[in-house]
Amino acid sequence: MRLWCCRGTGRRLALVAEAKTYGKKLVYSGPLLDSVKFEGAEAKVAFKPGTAEGLATTDNGSVKYFAIADEDKHFVWADAKIINPSAAQASVGGKKSNASAKSKGGAEPAIVLTCAQVPKPVAVRYAWANNPDVNLVNAAGLPAVPFRTDNWPQNELKAAAPVAPHAPTPAASAAPPHSANTAAPVSAPAAQPK
């Protein structure tokens, strides 16, 4: 473990201990996947209640590291949009952020994924790589937990052409991660959009 990352890891472990061991009522986890609904060309990612309040990006940019695939098992980067049920602005780490908070009606923030190359998505992966440079956090500043919704073996995945909808040119893009190994995700793509 590198010294620069110890503080964040220590903080997250302390929050878990305070909540689980000492019974304090606090948010101790980043957004956790609850479900994904596939409707036409969209995939709507819902998070477990209480973990995604104040869903935001740390850099006010677009959400990074979501990949979707259709029946051909070919993952490509998705355009990810935070659904803001209350249109509230939240603060992440003391900075104003492009965020959403829980609305009065109880709707939790969510992410809607689309990609022109995937007209009917059937699988989603988020941050499925070794040490991805992610930017999706909740109001407590805790990062979203990586996940995948498929269980496809690695040898069944198709090789991806370099595709990154957020990159300005194909030369600056990279293919999304393709690991089917749940124990050890593959390396991060070389040119994930920033």
Are 164 and 100 found together in one domain?
A: yes
Q: Residue 5: its pLDDT value, please?
A: 60
At 145, list the tokens: 């937990």
pLDDT band at 109 (very low <50, low <70, confident <90, very high): very high
pLDDT at 63 over 60: yes
pLDDT per residue as tens digits for the range 121-152: 999 999 998 889 899 999 999 999 999 999 99
d(CA 158, CA 171): 20
Are 105 and 152 found together in one domain?
A: yes
d(CA 63, CA 59): 9
Q: What is the mean pLDDT of residues 45-71?
A: 94
Cβ count near 122 (within 10 Å): 16
Are 53 and 126 found together in one domain?
A: yes
Are 48 and 75 found together in one domain?
A: yes
Position 178 in a domain: no
Are 53 and 141 found together in one domain?
A: yes
- CA 96 vs. chain centroid, Å, equals 20
pLDDT per residue as tens digits for the range 155-170: 777 755 444 444 333 3
- CA 89 vs. chain centroid, Å, equals 19
Position 125 in a domain: yes
pTM: 0.70
Position 123 in a domain: yes
d(CA 159, CA 146): 22
At residue 82, φ and ψ (nearest 5 deg) are -75, 125
Contact 130, 188 (CB under 8 A): yes
Phi-psi region of 11 (alpha: psi -120 to 50; beta: other; left: phi over 0): alpha
Are 15 and 81 found together in one domain?
A: no
Of 189, 78, 81, nearest to 125 (Cα)?
78
Whose structure tokens read 């998505």?
Answer: 121
Q: What is the mean pLDDT of residues 17-34?
A: 87
Are 13 and 53 found together in one domain?
A: no
Better-scored residue on pLDDT, 133 or 184: 133
Q: Residue 100: its pLDDT value, please?
A: 42
Mean pLDDT (the chain) is 76
Range of 129's domain? 31-172
Are 13 and 89 found together in one domain?
A: no
Contact 43, 157 (CB under 8 A): no
Q: Residue 101: its pLDDT value, please?
A: 42
pLDDT at 114 over 70: yes
Are 21 and 82 found together in one domain?
A: no
Are 71 and 130 found together in one domain?
A: yes
Better-scored residue on pLDDT, 10 or 68: 68
pLDDT band at 90 (very low <50, low <70, confident <90, very high): very low
Are 18 and 77 found together in one domain?
A: no
Are 24 and 35 found together in one domain?
A: no
